[in-house]
Amino acid sequence: MIELIGVYKNFGEKEVLRNVGMTIRKGEIFTLIGPSGTGKSTILRLINLLDVPTEGEIFFEGIDTSGPEKTRLQLRRRMSMVFQKPAALRGDVFDNIAAPLRFRKVPVEDIRKRVPEALELVGLSGYESRKASTLSGGEMQRVAIARAVVTRPEVLLLDEPTANLDPVSTEKVENLVHTINSRFGTTIILSTHDMDQGQRLAHRIAVVLSRTIGQTGTAHEIFYQPRNRDVAHMVGVENILEGMVKNNEEGLTIIDIEGYDIAATSDCPTGSRVTAYIRPEDLVLSTAEFPGSSLRNRFLGRITKVVAMGPMVKVRIDCGIRLISVITKRSFDELEIEEGGSVHVYFKASAVHVVRID
């Protein structure tokens, strides 16, 4: 549906995007995840043909978008974008939602029919004559979405659609994104800095890190098989260990990390240097010796730090190698452990994602 090839974007001297490449498929929800200021908005603006890439190509259904403004306008009219802070045009809600239809010279009778339909979709029926300036942030966001979908776009671009919203409004907007995608088959590209939201909404995710795409894949691939240290860090993989493969027998790999052995599953050959990624939720803590057999990795360590994070607790353990575990507050309380105490750490070989260092 949309393809970016080797896209660079500079604003004056400043490089904002570097060699961005990705393909968005028809009908999918595609999420750009990354911290603020990494270029997510710029990518969306380029796709919406509001800006022109400094270098590289963007194709919309195979059509080169670097053509004359007339072509760009025709393509732009097949998409809609909702900005992070939606701007209201002068006039009431009806005028705002009717604006894109008027630009497309849709007949007045159709406009009268389609505006209430769009408002109903976003759950704001009867808001037609409200002044846009009297709307709350969440209402304005939904009006902006109504304004975007009223044209029945093939592609809907959403820039941080819930960044400024309370949890209730956030849930409404997320449900709406699902509804629009499943009911109309609209291809949706949205940016967010919220990992969980990316996981909840997206069919596929692109991790945007410092001006380029770190990795593209399904949520599972991104969260459990990060391609490099930066992506791993971004998606909350706290245990990133470097070592050497000592032995590999039919996929069961033994990695030497600072003199300690870790069992993992991989196809990296003996002698190769690797990075091992372990999600903190995959570490099991216990005060007693654990007889279970599927947990190949067993360490005894000292708790160096305990940090409460809402319903979860982050526990740092020094087992010779330093590990970080995240467990629920409830299990933490049941374990009766504290800083300075000792604890057993267990994890499966399959919980270790191994990436070869070239």
Partner 1 sequence: MNDIIEGFTQAFQLIVTLNPEVMGITIRSLFISLSATFLASIIAIPLGGLIHFREFGGKKGLITVIQALYALPTVLAGLFVFLLISRSGPFGFLGLMFTPTGMIFGQMVLIIPLMIGMTLIALSGVRKNIQDTIVSLGADEFQSILTIIKEARFAILGGVILGFGRAISEVGAAMIIGGNIRGYTRILTTAIALETSQGNLPLSIALGLILLFIALIVTTILFLVQER
List interacting residues with partner 1 (CB under 8 A): 45, 48, 50, 69, 73, 76-77, 80-81, 83, 85-87, 89-90, 99-100, 103-104, 147, 151
DSSP H helices in 135-258: 137-149, 167-184, 195-201, 219-224, 229-234
Interhelix angle for 167-184 vs 137-149, to 10°?
10
How many other CB atoms are there within 10 angstroms of residue 128's CB atom? 17
- Supply the minimum distance, in Å, between the C-beta of residue 104 and partner 1: 6
- Supply the minimum distance, in Å, between the C-beta of residue 13 and partner 1: 19
Interhelix angle for 167-184 vs 108-121, to 10°?
130
The nearer residue to partner 1, 161 or 214, going by C-beta atoms, is 161
Q: Are 143 and 124 in contact (CB under 8 A)?
A: yes
- Supply the minimum distance, in Å, between the C-beta of residue 47 and partner 1: 11
The nearer residue to partner 1, 103 or 110, going by C-beta atoms, is 103
- CA dist., res. 158 & res. 82, Å (int): 5
Q: In terms of C-beta density within 10 A (0-12 exposed, 13-18 middle, 19 or more buried), how is residue 13 classed?
A: exposed
Tokens at 60, concatenated: 């919309």
The nearer residue to partner 1, 73 or 308, going by C-beta atoms, is 73
Q: Which of 168, 173, 122 is nearest to 143 (CA)?
A: 122
The nearer residue to partner 1, 73 or 252, going by C-beta atoms, is 73
- Supply the minimum distance, in Å, between the C-beta of residue 269 and partner 1: 51
The nearer residue to partner 1, 14 or 105, going by C-beta atoms, is 105
- Supply the minimum distance, in Å, between the C-beta of residue 82 and partner 1: 9
- Supply the minimum distance, in Å, between the C-beta of residue 112 and partner 1: 18
H/E stretch holding 218 reads none
The nearer residue to partner 1, 151 or 181, going by C-beta atoms, is 151
Tokens at 47, concatenated: 């796709």
- Supply the minimum distance, in Å, between the C-beta of residue 157 and partner 1: 9
The nearer residue to partner 1, 104 or 305, going by C-beta atoms, is 104
- Please spell the DSSP secondary structure of 259-291, one letter per residue: TEEEEEE--PPTT-EEEEEE-GGG-EEESS---
Beta bridge partners of 131: 92
The nearer residue to partner 1, 159 or 238, going by C-beta atoms, is 159
Tally the C-alpha atoms within 13 A of residue 310's C-alpha that lie toward its C-beta: 0
- Supply the minimum distance, in Å, between the C-beta of residue 134 and partner 1: 16
Residue whose entry in the numeric block shows the structure tokens 């990296």: 268
